[in-house]
Structure formats: structure tokens, C-alpha cells
């Protein structure tokens, strides 16, 4: 069901499709939303946060072009669902969450789900995680006010970053790639995200 839905919306990376099918999304959604766990829609979390719809998670992962041996930074852990998917696509995942309650809950669910290559850190995700940089890929799960230059600085050579960037009253999912000092970018499509709160993001 998941793969069929995603293929119809342009997800073609077989590793991404396999990972999306392998992660039990119902483990990462609130009890009240379990019946809608596999609907292709965002679901509410505590603290006015959301779990991104499956297509958005898949589009971000596909845009990162992961081969399996990368170290990935995730900005915005939320429920831990996206980190679980990334854990099957990369060697190691560092996930930063600014809300302690969400970080603690996500870390617990990820551990119970056996995602032992994910490390959840409480902090300002808009600033990335410079002490662990450079990263091979960065996945941002909240809308940045502009091109996230601070996060792009934490990419290694050949690294890729996918983030929703504010554009008027909506957001556009953008993919960036660092190649030989140059920065290429392309548009994936329109999306809706909560704002990235922090020093390099929006004010709370």
C-alpha cells in the first residue's frame, strides 16, 4: 500500500520505497491517530508539531540520494518517524530536536524499534550540530526562512541537503548539493511545514 501510494506521486528510489515500507508508522503516531497512521497526510503531535505525511518523508529521503554509508543530520526529530526511515538508508543518523519532551519520547520509541544507529540530541536544530560536522546529508523537517546557509556550511564535499524554504505564505521543498565549492539547487515541490524555530530560523 505505502509503495503504491508513493510511486504514484513520483517516488522511484527502491531503497526509499523499501525503507518506507519497513518502518511501522503506527509506532510513531499518537494513540488517538493510529487509525490514520498510513494516510498520506500530516498528523498532529504535542506542542503544535506534526508528523510529516509519508510522501514528504519519502521525497526528502529521495532528494538526499543516500547510498547506505552516509552520516546524516536530521533537523527536527518530532516523533522519530523520519529518523527511523533514515536509519535504514544511512550508516548513522544524528537527529536534533528543540523540544525536550518530544526528543525524549522519540528516543524511547526509536530504541524500542531497534533503531540503534540514531542518536537524538536536544538542541537548536537551526544551528545544526557543528561538533559532529561535516555531514554527508542533512534533512530538515521544518520550514527555514531562507536558504539555510549555516546548515549548508556543515555539509561535506558532495553532500546534499533537503529543506522546506519559506516562499510567501507557503513553502517549497528544495534540494541542495555541494560540489567543488559550488552549490547546486533544485525545486522538488510545494509543501507545508511548521516553522524552524531557533537562532538561524524563525523567532518563537
Q: Sign (positive/negative) of CA torsion 103, 82, 60, 64?
A: positive
Q: How far apart are the first and last CA of the chain?
A: 38
The active-site residue out of 41, 52, 87, 95 is 52
Q: What DSSP line would sit under the chain, residue for residue?
A: -HHHHHHHTT---HHHHHHHHHS-GGGGS-GGGGGGTTSSS-EE-STT-EEPPHHHHHHHHHHHT--SS-EEEEE--TTSHHHHHHHTTSSEEEEEES-HHHHHHHHHHHHHTT-TTEEEEES-GGG--GGG--EEEEEE-SBBSS--HHHHTTEEEEEEEEEEEEETTEEEEEEEEEETTEEEEEEEEEE---B-BSTTSB--
Is position 170 annotated as part of the catalytic site?
no
Grid coordinates of 168: 510567501
Residue with C-alpha cell 518563537? 204
Catalytic residue numbers, as ranges? 52
Amino acid at each position: 500500500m505505502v509503495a503504491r501510494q508513493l510511486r504514484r506521486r513520483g517516488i522511484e528510489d527502491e531503497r526509499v520505497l523499501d525503507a518506507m515500507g519497513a518502518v511501522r508508522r503506527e509506532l510513531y503516531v499518537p494513540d488517538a491517530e493510529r487509525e490514520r497512521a498510513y494516510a498520506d497526510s500530516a498528523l498532529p503531535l504535542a506542542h503544535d508539531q506534526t508528523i510529516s505525511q509519508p510522501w514528504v518523508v519519502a521525497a526528502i529521503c529521495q532528494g538526499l540520494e543516500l547510498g547506505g554509508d552516509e552520516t546524516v543530520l536530521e533537523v527536527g526529530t518530532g516523533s522519530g518517524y523520519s529518523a527511523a526511515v533514515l536509519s535504514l538508508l544511512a550508516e548513522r543518523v544524528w537527529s536534533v530536536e528543540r523540544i525536550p519532551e518530544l526528543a525524549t519520547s522519540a528516543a524511547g520509541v526509536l530504541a524500542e524499534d531497534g533503531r540503534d544507529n540514531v542518536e537524538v540530541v536536544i538542541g537548536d536544530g537551526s544551528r545544526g550540530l557543528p561538533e559532529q560536522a561535516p555531514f554527508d546529508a542533512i534533512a530538515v523537517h521544518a520550514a527555514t526562512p531562507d536558504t539555510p546557509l549555516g546548515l549548508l556550511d556543515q555539509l561535506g564535499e558532495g553532500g546534499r541537503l533537503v529543506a522546506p524554504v519559506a516562499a510567501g505564505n507557503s513553502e517549497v521543498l528544495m534540494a541542495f548539493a555541494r560540489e567543488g565549492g559550488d552549490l547546486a539547487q533544485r525545486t522538488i515541490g510545494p509543501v507545508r511545514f511548521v516553522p524552524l524555530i531557533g537562532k538561524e530560523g524563525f523567532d518563537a
